[in-house]
Structure 1
């Protein structure tokens, strides 16, 4: 069999573009087995109706063979009435059950696809905090869009059709064995050709399709990152470099596309040759068998028609099995999240107070590269602490550790003596919340957006939360009040209003400790000042750790921690640190002029 080498690439170019893992064959098989167990009744029903449909389709060859046999025996009267009646009945039964096969197959596919989507979402949400945040945007987008789209066709069509095809072939071969046993062996003459061709193809196809999927993820990542950072790209004149990178990624992806297309262009002629070999061997060998008297003409007629009927289910199997090669890669990428240990929490862990303590903490995003080193910090209840320092010093990382988003590599971060990394995520969020510049309005009603924080809240509590952040005025002016549809396709909200919704959720969740990462820094000055007044009411009486990118935030804090090179270099009040004339004093002078 002639072969070509798969595309060769620069070793520096990624052949995979994922942060989340791709599921191993064992993980994929285990998940498929789980799906089959969930839907075993639907599978059994599909096989049952398909069996009836195939048996009905075999009535025609059997009746025609019987008719030919009677003619060869010199029958004077054929009595076609019963034959035509049986044939018509078989057609009606076949049509009815084929319709049921399609209906049951489509229903089964949709149910499995719904399970897959739900399983992926539930598993992804249950991942340890920070895992998805560190995942590549392009990889995440390609998994939840392209991979789901590819699997949609497989779940709706490939799995039911493959089941139908396998049953179809088994029943036809069984019918051939019963009708004309010697002819059944002649069908196997084409088996070596089909086996060799399929073995050649399926040894190469899975890895090629995986590389194709990874190449598409790399394209998506390059394009998404360029669009997201469009202004930065323009400001630093990186357009040509980003275009060259995108062109390279597209070139790599299309090379794999061409390779998989070439694999299919070899397989399909082999399949067509197999069909011709099956029919030819049955007719030629059958003729010899008739001459030798081993079978009669009627058996040959029935056997030839059954062999001809094998063409469609064999083609069906190979077509949808090829489709499943693409789907298997997408399925492996989706079930890969099952190989990440879910966030494990000790339900017995409960904080004994509101005291936050970081004890000799080390943390890094990559193995062997620590962003924070031997950081120790205490935040007393009700304290307002500001984390300041140069860009890239580790302020935001430390804030996320204190909020329980990340777990330290070494050391401990505790709340009331309970280690945050060992507490269930839901319990952590009940006590500590992170508020940053990012805010999201979900598609749905305003009420639904607020109930995310506390599902049992009544309308009075929702209005009180909106009033607490000065949002009740514009909210009451909406056409349907709390029932107004917001988000994409609904009422458009300004960035300030979207942030107010996020703060209202915070009021409803009512955590006693907040980590603020400049929640108003992306708003225009007027909106920022208005929102800061709303935020001040939310912060009243709570412990606050503010990551201060603007030093006026630090000026008002009770305690300031200066973070430099992954360490806390200074700790104290504003006046004390200015008097000390250290790193904070230098920052204050450079910012204050």
Structure 2
């Protein structure tokens, strides 16, 4: 109403005018019946028919105009809803978006917006037309025969009551159905995307059970909405048909008693018939409107997610040290994953974090990248808590690259340029330099259009390894002060990964780098190594120091090499690579 007043007033005005034009026909036909009974001429009948045809054409033209105006309004609003939804999703705390799951967000963005579009383009105009038709028809009936009109309106209260009963329950029912349907989408998508893993691990039966459970939940929720419709629709249908029956029976009685003329009775009967059809259509569209209302709530619900950080003004003093002080962390209301972590990473230092699967390495990396905030303690960059830095500033200071990377639809140049900050630009020389640093220059040059090659869905597909190289190149273009690399080269073969890491070592010299090391040669290259066991820092020191301590890291190193520790051999021999 605020943003599109002209379109809205135009759509409402045309709908009202179309409903008003429809009032002429019953009145003319009523008068014509009365004239025929009293005796009339062919010329009079022809004249009435021509006038009636004129108003039918006028009404058709007005309905067309109302449909076009309503379509413009709905498309304008829905375009804004889509844009705002994307903006709000991108502004969500990353932890919240991950917890929601792709199925939930995709369901809101695709199916939800589609339902809103159908409702805005078809259901809403139908309901508005029905409302205008009802009000104006009642006015027309009162003008013809007030007594007969009031008697017919006795059928209105039952319809109003059953509609109120339906609306008071249907919103929650449809919301429950959509939530269940989103869960089903998530389950089925997970089974489809992970089909190879499921087959390899023999998890087919377990995934089938999970899918059956989600389908059953969706079915039960849909049955809940069906029960409401089986009460509402038949009752409403009877309510809509009662006025027609009443008009015929009471009209005949009123005419016999001399309380109403034949013209008035005919007009009221036709008005009643004319009113029933749009109201019946509105009833049918009411379910669509409830779907759209629930979809709108789910879209707007994204804006109600509380922020996971309280932004404050902080001045970064240039020391560029990253300090983790007495940090504890757990996901949601779950148990603690990290317990009392204390680490300080100096400017330009390379820290490797190693440990067994599930020890908390990646979780610690995400805290050090500012994605999650700690339950207690603090993670600070130059004394400023990461969780209090504005996101734009945070990402210019600290960036994370993991094995989960995506190629967005567009050219390679556009994918690399995503890392360029607002107000800045990156030339070809800078982009090619980043690609060369990640060993990707050759295969990019071999593509038909080089940097202008379209990639992503429906275009040139990149292998997982190429996607990972592109992600690291994008990080180089972004040029943050602190890099957190979590399995950033895991999709490359060991030899290529080692070559890439050596290239990055030279390129990132003097920059603070935190690496979640899943290959021990990566840890060997670091200035210091933090060994994580059960969410705690078990050991902290250089490779040489930890080998000399003969603790967990030394045993891990020895196990990796399949024999006694030999630092000199590891430094000079091929075993390290």
Length-normalised TM-score, structure 2 = 0.90
Asked whether the equivalents of residues 139 and 217 of structure 1 are also in contact (C-alpha less than 8 Å), the reply is yes
Say yes or no: does 1:545 pair with 2:514. yes
Q: Which moved more, 1:302-311 or 1:527-536?
A: 527-536
Q: Taking CA–CA contacts closer than 8 Å with sequence separation of 6 or more, which of the two structures ends up with the larger relative contact order? A: 1
2:448 corresponding residue in structure 1:
479
- Structure 2 Cα separation of the partners of residues 473 and 550 of structure 1: 26
SS of residue paired to 2:225: helix
Partners of 2:217 and 2:93 in 1: CA distance: 33
Deviation, 1:259, is 4.1
Aligned residue for 2:380, secondary structure, equals strand
Indicate conservation of the 8 Å contact 2:23/2:136, yes or no: no
- Give 3-state SS (helix, strand or coil) of 2:2's partner: helix
**Correspondence list, 1:191-206, <5 A:** 191-206=156-171
Shift of 1:196: 4.0
Aligned counterparts of 2:411 and 2:216: Cα–Cα separation in 1: 44
Matched-pair contact (CA < 8 Å) for 1:154–1:324: yes
Match of 2:566 in 1: none
| Equivalent residue runs for 1:405-420 within 5 Å | 405-420=371-386
Q: Distance in 1 between matches of 2:201 and 2:443?
A: 40
Confirm whether residue 388 of structure 1 aligns to residue 354 of structure 2. yes
2:419 matched to which residue of 1?
A: 453
State the secondary structure of the residue aligned to 2:532: strand
- Which one is further off, 457-466 or 273-282? 457-466
Task: After TM superposition, list the pairs within 5 Å mapping 1:405-554 onto structure 2.
Answer: 405-454=371-420, 456-460=424-428, 461-554=430-523
2:359 and 2:532 in contact (8 A); partners too: yes
Q: State the distance in 1 between where 2:350 and 2:165 align.
A: 67
Distance across 2 between alignment mates of 1:86 and 1:234: 73
The residue aligned with 1:23 is none
Q: Which residue pairs with 1:4 in the alignment?
A: none
CA distance in 2, matches of 1:391, 1:169: 68
Q: 1:59 aligns with which of 14, 18, 24?
A: 24
Q: Does 1:562 align with 2:527?
A: no
Which residue is 1:7 aligned to? none
User: Is 2:58 the counterpart of 1:93?
Assistant: yes
Count of aligned residue pairs for this structure pair: 558
The answer to which of 38-47 and 463-472 deviates more is 463-472
Q: Alignment partner for residue 177 of structure 2, among 212, 221, 245?
A: 212
Assess if the C-alpha contact under 8 Å between 1:469 and 1:537 holds in 2: no
CA contact (8 A) 1:350 1:423 kept: no
Q: Per-residue displacement from partner, 1:62-92 (whole Å, max 9, x unpaired)?
A: 2112223334555568634543342232122
Check the 8 A contact 1:435/1:519 in 2, yes or no.
yes
Contact 2:308–2:373, Cα closer than 8 Å, also in 1: no
Give unmatched runs, 5+ long, in structure 1: 1-35
Q: Quick one: which of 242, 258, 265 aligns to 1:277? A: 242
Give the match's secondary structure for 1:561: strand
Distance 2:98 2:210 in 1: 24
Equivalent of 1:317 in 282, 297, 302: 282
| Superposed displacement of residue 533, structure 1 | 4.1
CA contact (8 A) 1:113 1:156 kept: no
8 Å CA contact retained: 1:50, 1:164: yes
Does the 8 Å contact 1:559/1:573 carry over to 2? yes
CA contact (8 A) 1:343 1:424 kept: no
Structure 2 unmatched runs, 5+ = 563-577
The aligned residue for residue 399 of structure 1 is: 365
TM-score scaled by length of structure 1: 0.88
Deviation at 1:380, TM superposition (A): 0.3
Residue range with higher mean Cα deviation, 369-378 or 479-488? 479-488
The residue aligned with 1:142 is 107
Secondary structure of 1:83's counterpart equals helix
User: Is 1:355 the equivalent of 2:355?
Assistant: no
Structure 1 CA distance, aligned partners of 2:91 and 2:58? Answer: 49
Query: Is 2:332 aligned against 1:366?
Result: yes
Q: Secondary structure at the match of 2:205?
A: helix
Aligned to 2:261: 296
Structure 1 residues 204, 254: CA separation in 2 closer, same or farther (over 3 Å shift)?
same
